[in-house]
Amino acid sequence: MTVTLSHKIELKANNKFKTYCRKAFGVSRFTWNWVLERVNDKRERKEKIDVLELKKEFNHIKRRQYPFVMEVTKYASQQPFIFLKRALSQFFDDLKSDKSSSKRKGFPVFKKKRYSSGSFYIGGDLVVVKNGSEIKDKRFGASDNKPYLHIPKFGWVMLREEIRFPGKINSVTISQDGDKFFASFSIETSEIVYEGTHKENAQEALCGCDWGVKDLLTLSNGIKVKGSKHLKRRQRQLARQQRKLAKKQHPRTKGDKTPKSKNYIKQSRKVGVSYLTLGEATPALSGGEAQRLKLAYEMETPLQGSVFVFDEPTIGLHPQDVKKLILIFDHLIQLGATVIVIEHDLELVTNCDYIIDMGPWGGKEGGRVVVEGTPEAVAANSENITGRYLKQVLAEDK
| pLDDT of res. 82 | 93
Of 148, 166, 199, the residue that ends a domain is 199
Looking at the fold, whether 301 and 180 belong to one and the same domain comes out as: no
Looking at the fold, whether 176 and 35 belong to one and the same domain comes out as: yes
CATH of the domain at 338: 3.40.50.300
Q: Is residue 274 part of a domain?
A: yes
Q: Are 264 and 250 in contact (CB under 8 A)?
A: yes
Task: Name the 3-class secondary structure at 239.
Answer: helix
**For the chain, how many helices (H) and strands (E)?**
11, 14
How many structural domains are present in the chain? 2
- For residue 148, CA distances in Å to 12, 54, 139, 144, 155 come to 10, 36, 15, 10, 10
Burial class, 301, CB count within 10 angstroms (exposed 0-12 / middle 13-18 / buried 19+): exposed
The pLDDT of residue 266 is above 80? no
Q: Is residue 244 part of a domain?
A: no
Of 40-44, 49-53, 222-226, 349-353, the poorest mean pLDDT is in 222-226
Q: Which long-range contacts (CB under 8 A, 24 or more apart) does 355-360 make?
A: 355/386, 357/384, 357/386, 357/387, 359/384, 359/385, 359/386, 360/384, 360/385
Q: Is residue 286 part of a domain?
A: yes
Looking at the fold, whether 289 and 165 belong to one and the same domain comes out as: no
Q: Is residue 239 part of a domain?
A: no
Of 134-138, 249-253, 309-313, 322-326, the poorest mean pLDDT is in 249-253
Of 144-153, 192-201, 372-381, the poorest mean pLDDT is in 192-201
Q: Which amino acid is at 151?
A: I
Looking at the fold, whether 193 and 341 belong to one and the same domain comes out as: no
When pLDDT is cut at 50, 70 and 90, the band that residue 163 belongs to is confident
Q: Is residue 68 part of a domain?
A: yes
Of 167, 183, 199, the residue that ends a domain is 199
When pLDDT is cut at 50, 70 and 90, the band that residue 274 belongs to is very low
The pLDDT of residue 15 is above 50? yes
Facing residues of 171 across strands? 123, 186
Looking at the fold, whether 188 and 293 belong to one and the same domain comes out as: no
Looking at residues 305-310, what average pLDDT do you find?
A: 83
Residues 6+ apart with CB under 8 A from 82: none
Q: Is residue 217 part of a domain?
A: no
Q: Is residue 228 part of a domain?
A: no
Task: Give CA–CA dist 348/101, Å, rounded.
Answer: 51
Task: Give CA–CA dist 187/389, Å, rounded.
Answer: 50
| pLDDT of res. 275 | 46
Looking at the fold, whether 152 and 288 belong to one and the same domain comes out as: no
Q: Is residue 177 part of a domain?
A: yes
| pLDDT of res. 29 | 94
Look at 60 and 191; give whichever has higher pLDDT: 60
Of 55-64, 185-194, 280-289, 316-325, the poorest mean pLDDT is in 280-289
When pLDDT is cut at 50, 70 and 90, the band that residue 227 belongs to is low
Range of the domain at 194: 2-199
Looking at the fold, whether 283 and 187 belong to one and the same domain comes out as: no
The number of angstroms, rounded, from the C-alpha of 111 to the middle of its chain's C-alpha atoms is: 17
